[in-house]
Amino acid sequence: EVQLVESGGGLVQPGGSLRLSCAASGFTFSNYWMSWVRQAPGKGLEWVANIKDDGSVQYHADSVKGRFTISRDNAKNSLYLQMDTLRAGDTAVYYCAREIPSTTSSFDYWGQGTLVSVSS
């Protein structure tokens, strides 16, 4: 059974940092591109970043470029999101999601999400 379990969310002050993790199981993690997608309270979905199956290529949304960094450790079946210089507008539930190969980044499995709250 495919499982994605996020952790690392919490309350942080503006300007602070947080590192999210996503533990993957039930599939060959190293074969898949992975993404982070976030959802602010009461709002829609926003793609944040994705990373190639071998970790060699990463893309970030303009809204987080230069502040967030996606990475992965295929030996640990884990995906990460390092979030620095956090702002109130980054408050959201952060989901990790698996991309179906050879699609237009269709996400077939999602974690349950981890809540990041940025507030003083």
Partner 1 sequence: EIVLTQSPATLSLSPGERVTLSCRASQRPYINYLSWYQQKPGQAPRLLIYSTSSASNRATGVPDRFSASGSGTDFTLTISRLEPEDFAVYYCQQYSVFGQGTKVEIK
Query: Minimum distance between the CB of residue 119 and partner 1, rounded to whole angstroms?
Result: 21
Residue type present at position 70: I
Contact between 36 and partner 1 by CB under 8 A: the answer reads: no
Contact residue for partner 1 among 1, 41, 44, 75 (CB under 8 A): 44
Alpha carbons 34 and 100: distance in angstroms, whole number: 9
Contact between 23 and partner 1 by CB under 8 A: the answer reads: no
Q: Which residues 77-116 are close enough to bind partner 1 by CB under 8 A?
A: 95, 100, 102-108, 110-113
Which stretches of the chain are assigned E, i.e. beta strand? Answer: 3-7, 10-12, 18-25, 34-39, 45-51, 58-60, 68-73, 78-83, 92-99, 107-110, 114-118
Contact residue for partner 1 among 59, 67, 69, 78 (CB under 8 A): 59
Please report, as ranges, the residues that interact with partner 1 according to CB under 8 A. Answer: 37, 44-47, 50, 59, 61, 95, 100, 102-108, 110-113
